[in-house]
Chains A and B, each alone.
Chain A
Amino acid sequence: MAGSAGTQTITLAKGLNQGLRAAMEADPKVIVMGEDVGKLGGVFRITDGLQKDFGEQRVLDTPLGESGIIGTAVGLALRGYRPVCEIQFDGFVYPAFDQIVTQLARFHYRSQGKLRMPVVVRVPHGGGIGAVEHHSESPESYFAHTPGIKVVACANAVDAYWMIQQAIACDDPVIFFEPKRRYWEKASLDLAAAPPPLFSSRLVRSGTTATVVTYGPMVRTALDAATVAEQDGQRLEVIDLRTLSPLDLAPVFDSVRRTGRLICVSEAPGEASLIGELAARVSQECFYSLEAPVLRVTGFDTPYPPAKCEEDYLPDVDRILDAVDRALGY
């Protein structure tokens, strides 16, 4: 990114990188920590160049241990720092699960506000990159289920740039999901345009036939489905949730009241998931507006399969359009 103002075309990865840089420039208490984030710049190069410019005191190459990363980040937050932790891949977040769920999420409540946890945990999530086991998962429901932490998912380069800065500025712990297969997709970033609030959903395509709600890597897929559907005369409305906890469902309710049909899309297994919560809430709030049951298009209730099967595992344009057809069939 050349200047401090104007419009540039950047990748989602670069958006995150520039957003991190801006946050570190704005607040000396912001530190980046994780495996290989320093010299290497992260396995996805999201932290590229940060250690060179901010030094080893602010960009910490940590030992290999996810619980250690989050547990020491908790201690650093108690000391007044704002750690931004990188978990290298979604499937490696589980060793840190205890520290996130029993500690990071609880300090504010336990202390009744005396202790704050301004910690961001960045997690590249989702499949579609042909990876080996544990590199393609969608664990966001585990975290959305946990009170005390906030969960967001960015879907494009512009959101990546702003949302990472907003998450770092947030005084609560934020689990920040990044759609790894979209890291290299580009968008036009206008630095003069004010971003929407972090914890807000957004209508990304208007339509009348049915509402498709999704987040993260599936936003692109849903938009593609809407484009294809248009050829059949169907106008799909697409909403990017952006915030998974707290949920901002007002735009969803508003949309469903107009379209009467809702398709929820996520790569994660559907059973007992965030998407299921969405279906329940919409059924409750929009019961008399619904023309069809809320339908879900998700990964299957299986472990993530070998990479050669992921094309069939992951929701795609066709599965979304099949669900639209089913919803229209009621």
Chain B
Amino acid sequence: MPPRKRAPSRSSPGAKPVGSPIVGQPTVGPVVEPLAGPIVGTAMEIDGPHNPQQIIAGLRATSEGEDLVQLLTPEGQRVSHPRFDLEISAAGIQALYRDMVLVRRVDREANVLQRQGQLGLWAPLLGQEAAQVGAGRAMAPQDMAFPSYREHGVAWCRGVDPTELLGIFRGVDQGSWDPNSTGFQLYAVVVGTQCLHATGYAMGQRLDGKIGNAETGEATICFFGDGATSQGDVHEAFVWAAVYDAPVVFFCQNNQWAISASLDRQTRVPLYRRARGYGFPGIRVDGNDVLAVFAVTQWALRECRTGNGPVLIEACTYRMDAHTTSDDPTRYRLADELEEWKLKDPLERVRVHLVREGLAEPDFFAGVIDEADELARRLRDYCTSMPVPGPERIFSNIYAEASPSLDAARADFLAYHASFEDGH
């Protein structure tokens, strides 16, 4: 044991010698002659276009270029693709169309509910129905989806009732559905975080020995946007998924805008090409073509279930409405862009195809509209009658194990509440 030594008396500040700056001394180190002249050539010559105009033009072109997988043109024409052709019945196309109509109706109704003050916020998916329904319907029951906060269409495909989405935006819960029974995790609000969760979950699927069969195996699909691709977590997710061969499909909905930031603020290269750098395939699909999205995602999930994951899918689509109901897109984008994308509407091309090819009768379309009206009514009724949680909710379920200090805090606060004459 050291003997007790009293603290020495404090010496006055500056008593210790302090190095003074050297004035008038020559620069330290010898002057070195360059060993060779500069390397000839610009960065552009070495690795493709690097000036801003070319970059932006390149990104724009990616929504139309030849490596875009498309099975149904914006005009409703079926086209074939050498790798991703799809055999689908009239009933199959009708079912996808119905999904998209109902999902759009949910979205529009929720948007209206926000405008009427019934929701605090809504994140619209308008324009992204094909990407979400195509991907959602490609999933098998045993697969797991990790959404961001705009995947109302995927939620629909996983059997999450649309009313359950409203609680988050009305402020009565933070996600009420059961992720395990639906195969659809809770919404992730911090952009990109869910990509690591999906990767870890997929690593678990591999550890559990659930891969090796394209039909009965398990896969994970992770939804995120073009903005998220700039997050470090997404990079780490790509790295982890690659080195652990995780059975995860990274499904990027490139809707062209991260609130006010356009795609050229996130990337120099088309997003799907990033996969190559991580060592797994990247595929660009027309995100407004539900058939192409379905075909490509089904293929990617089968690859993952077999054990050939991961796969990156970039679904090129467009956020036709605002980022959320709090956003004002007129401040940062031109109306003509929206008009251009209206011509590529994901629902309209399927409707035209069904009508032109005689694959659906007028009764079918009328029936879907009736169904949508009924769904909207149910959504509205549910929204306005949702129970408001009491103050005890603040303290509930913070930990899995008992928490005496929080129990005491709850009891104190409830007693305080009860001390008011009207009970709150």
Interface residues of A (CB under 8 A from B): 31, 57, 62-63, 65, 67-68, 70-81, 95, 98-99, 102-103, 107-116, 118, 147-148, 150, 170-172, 224, 227-229, 231-232, 246-247, 317-319, 321-322
Residues of B within 8 A of A115 (CB): 179, 186
Is B73 close to A, CB under 8 A?
no
Query: B197, A108: Cβ atoms under 8 Å?
Result: no
Residue in B closest to A79 when the chains form the complex, CB atoms? B204
- Beyond A65-B236, A148-B399, whether A72 also contacts B2 by CB under 8 A is no
Query: B196, A75: Cβ atoms under 8 Å?
Result: yes
Docked complex Cα distance between A111 and B186 (Å): 8
Of B94-102, B237-245, B353-361, the one with at least 4 CB within 8 A of chain A: B237-245
Residues of A within 8 A of B201 (CB): 75-76, 78-79
Of B4-12, B34-42, B267-275, the one with at least 4 CB within 8 A of chain A: B4-12
Docked complex Cα distance between A118 and B399 (Å): 10
Select A75's contact among B204, B239, B396, B400, beta carbons within 8 Å: B204
* Residue with the greatest number of chain B CB neighbours at <10 A, chosen from A68, A110, A231: A68
Query: B2, A116: Cβ atoms under 8 Å?
Result: no
Is B327 close to A, CB under 8 A?
no
Is B334 close to A, CB under 8 A?
no
Docked complex Cα distance between A257 and B190 (Å): 46
Docked complex Cα distance between A61 and B413 (Å): 46
Proximity bits, B168-201, A CB within 8 Å = 1, else 0: 0000011110111000011010100101111111
Is B69 close to A, CB under 8 A?
no
Docked complex Cα distance between A81 and B176 (Å): 23
Proximity bits, B1-26, A CB within 8 Å = 1, else 0: 11111110000000000000000000
Docked complex Cα distance between A113 and B3 (Å): 54
Residues of A within 8 A of B236 (CB): 63, 65, 67-68, 71
Nearest CB of chain A from residue B152's CB, rounded to whole Å: 18
Residues of A within 8 A of B190 (CB): 98, 102-103
Which residues of chain B from 204 to 234 have a CB within 8 Å of any chain A CB? 204-205, 207-208, 232-233
Residues of B within 8 A of A110 (CB): 174-175, 186
Query: B198, A318: Cβ atoms under 8 Å?
Result: no
- Beyond A71-B237, A110-B186, A318-B6, whether A79 also contacts B205 by CB under 8 A is yes
- Beyond A67-B236, A114-B179, A171-B401, whether A72 also contacts B199 by CB under 8 A is yes
Residue in A closest to B178 when the chains form the complex, CB atoms? A114
Query: A57, B199: Cβ atoms under 8 Å?
Result: no
* Residue with the greatest number of chain B CB neighbours at <10 A, chosen from A76, A227, A231: A76
Docked complex Cα distance between A79 and B233 (Å): 19
Interface size of B by CB at 8 A reads: 48
Sample of 14 more A-B contacts, CB < 8 Å, known A79-B208, A246-B405:
A62-B240, A63-B240, A68-B236, A72-B237, A74-B197, A75-B198, A78-B185, A78-B204, A98-B233, A103-B193, A112-B173, A113-B397, A148-B398, A171-B401
Is B249 close to A, CB under 8 A?
no
Is B123 close to A, CB under 8 A?
no
Nearest CB of chain A from residue B147's CB, rounded to whole Å: 13
Nearest CB of chain A from residue B292's CB, rounded to whole Å: 29
Docked complex Cα distance between A231 and B180 (Å): 63
Residues of B within 8 A of A224 (CB): 1-2
Residue in B closest to A78 when the chains form the complex, CB atoms? B201
Is B403 close to A, CB under 8 A?
yes
Residues of B within 8 A of A108 (CB): 397-400
Nearest CB of chain B from residue A142's CB, rounded to whole Å: 17
- Beyond A76-B200, A79-B205, whether A109 also contacts B398 by CB under 8 A is yes
Residues of B within 8 A of A81 (CB): 204, 207
- Beyond A74-B200, A78-B197, A99-B233, whether A114 also contacts B180 by CB under 8 A is yes
Query: B193, A80: Cβ atoms under 8 Å?
Result: no
Nearest CB of chain B from residue A242's CB, rounded to whole Å: 15
Residue in B closest to A199 when the chains form the complex, CB atoms? B401
Is B252 close to A, CB under 8 A?
no
Is B203 close to A, CB under 8 A?
yes
Residues of A within 8 A of B404 (CB): 246
Select A68's contact among B196, B400, B405, beta carbons within 8 Å: B196
Residue in A closest to B201 when the chains form the complex, CB atoms? A75
Residues of A within 8 A of B186 (CB): 107, 110-111, 115
Select A76's contact among B4, B7, B203, beta carbons within 8 Å: B203
